[in-house]
Copies of this chain bind each other. A is one copy, B any other.
Amino acid sequence: MEYLATISVMLKATVLDPQGEAVRKSLASLGYGQVQKVRVGKHLELVLEAADREAAGALVDELCHRLLSNPVIEEYSFSLDEGEGPR
């Protein structure tokens, strides 16, 4: 089966996010002061082959933990859809 995994990798809430803060300041200086907080992370979409949903989930979990995120300072979440999806 083919699965589409949609992953987001964000800095943990306790870790300072200078990129997000830079975006917030830029927005504020452009007149968007109502934006109070910004966090920036990565969004990944993976198309992968797996026997079933459970195997796909286990694979994505392993990829995220070992390679796509830094578990010391980042956290990740993902969702799985069957088929390749719209992309």
List chain A positions with a Cβ less than 8 A from chain B.
2, 8-10, 13, 20, 23, 26-27, 30, 32, 34-50, 59, 63, 67-68, 84, 86-87
Q: How far is the CA of A30 from the CA of B59 in the complex (A)?
A: 13
Q: How far is the CA of A23 from the CA of B5 in the complex (A)?
A: 14
Check B41–A43 contact: CB distance below 8 A.
yes
* Chain B hits for A43, CB < 8 A: 8-10, 40-43
> Chain B nearest CB: distance from A23 CB in Å?
7
Instruction: Please provide the 3 A-B residue pairs with the shortest distance between their CB atoms, ordered closest to farther.
Output: A37-B47, A43-B43, A41-B43
Check B32–A63 contact: CB distance below 8 A.
yes
* Chain B hits for A42, CB < 8 A: 40-43
